[in-house]
Structures are given as C-alpha cells and as structure tokens.
Amino acid sequence: MVLIFVIGAFCATLLGGLFALRLKDRLHLILGLSAGAVIGVAFFELIPEAFELTAQTGDVRTVTTLIALGFVAYLILDRFVALHSHTDDDHHAHQRRGIVGAGTLSFHSFLDGIGLGLAFQVSPAVGLVVALAVLAHDFSDGINTVNMILKNTEERAQAFRWLLVDALAPAVGVLATLFFTVSQTTLGYLLALFAGFFLYIGASDLLPESHHSHPVYWTTLSSVLGVAALYAVTLFA
C-alpha cells in the first residue's frame, strides 16, 4: 500500500510542476497562487501537525520558538548566502536563491516521505491519513519548486530537473525510514522548523514577487485562492 501512495506522490508533484512550466507566461498569477499555497501549508498543515505531535510534552513555547527560528534562519540564508546582487554576478546570485528555495522544498518533500513511512509503521490507518495529507499538497509542491527556479533563473531545463528531484524525494524519505526511527516529538519539532521556512518563502519571497509589475487585483485574488485551496484540502484530507 505504501508503494501506491509513493507513486501517487511522485505523479502529483510532477503534474503540479508541469502545470507551472506550461503556464510560464502567467507566472505572476501562478506565483500568487503558489505564495498562498505555501503560506497555507505552513498554517493549516505543518503548524497544527507540529503541535499535535508534541502535545504530550505540552511544550508550546519550543514549537513557536522553532517556527520563529526557521523564519529567521531562512532570512539569514536568503540575505547572506543567496544574496540579491546588482552587479554582473546578478544571474549567479539569483541561481543560488532558486537552488536554495527548490532544495528546501525538496527536503520538505523528503520529510513528507519520512512521515509517510513512519506513519505506516504505526498502523495502516494512521498511514492512510498521512498519505492523504501528503498527496493533497504535493501538487502545489511541484508548482512551488518550478516557480522557485523560473522566478530566479527562467531556465526551464533546470526547473524540470529540480521538479524530478522534488518528485522523487518522498520515495527516498520512505526508504530512509527502513533504517531509522524518529520520535513523534522530534518529528513535530522538525515540522515547526520547516513551517518557519515556508512562512518566509511565501510571505517574503513569492508573495512580493507575484505583485511586481503586475495588476494587484488578480495576483491578490490568486494568493487568497491559494490559501483557501490549501485550507479546504487539509480540512478534507
């Protein structure tokens, strides 16, 4: 059964990325939708799941601290490792930013696979619920990964390569769970950290870019739709 959901996650991610590649001329609208989706994933999936997994410890402050730490860590990474540049090296700076963003999203997909594998180790019922949640947002993960590359480099070939990495990441995560186990509390802390990453990517990177030199009305609407869609998906999943 796990193999079925791994294949499903691969297909959902790949379809989302191909959707973004095909509609490159409407990238500002897709970026707006993507920004809303990333923020929605953080608020409606990662943060609630982090609190749920750490509920036994009752350590709410640690979870919120890790969310803030994730946000600040990605801010530092964005400003000092993948620097915005106005020199002749501007293209290389944007390439670094795209790779860092796509790499983070792919690592999140890897964690999805870890969560999926561990959930099925607990019980088939728990595994099914987690699998539905993973499939629910893998489509937007594919869109987000492609957008991170296209926004910074406009290189379709590179975007497709990262899309394949992101699509394969859940399968690698599932395989990894055959060699180690992670406590629920530790997994919750990891999700909190990545929620901070996603809040930064959505609010400080994708959202401003989607409004740049484009009508505010449509991009705002697409962002709201992205948030609403992820809310609905996580609610029903």
Match 């860092």 to its residue by tokens: 100
Question: What's the pLDDT at 184?
Answer: 82
Q: What is the pLDDT of residues 200-235, one digit of tens each?
A: 878 887 777 666 656 677 788 888 888 888 888 777
Helices 27-41 and 2-22 pack at an angle, to 10 degrees, of 150
Question: What's the pLDDT at 85?
Answer: 44
The chain-wide mean pLDDT, for the chain, equals 78
Backbone φ, ψ for residue 213 (5° rounding):
60, 30
- Classify residue 124 as exposed, middle or buried by CB count within 10 Å of its CB (0-12, 13-18, 19+): exposed
Structure tokens at 190: 């990891």
In this prediction, what percent of the chain has a pLDDT beyond 70? 80
CA angle 114, 116, 119 (to 5 degrees): 105
CA distance 207 to 38: 10
Say whether 1 sits in a helix, a strand or coil: coil
Region for 8 from its dihedrals, namely left if φ exceeds 0, alpha if ψ lies in -120 to 50, beta otherwise: alpha
Say which amino acid occupies 16: G
CA distance 211 to 206: 9
CA distance 163 to 14: 7
Compute the half-sphere exposure of residue 202: CA atoms within 13 Å on the CB side of its CA.
Answer: 24
The domain segmentation of the chain, as residue ranges, is 2-236
Q: Which one is predicted more confidently, 175 or 2? A: 175
Q: Which helix (H) or strand (E) holds 140?
A: helix 124-152
Q: Of 53, 29, 16, 12, which is closest to residue 191 (Cα–Cα)?
A: 53
pLDDT value at 26 more than 70: no
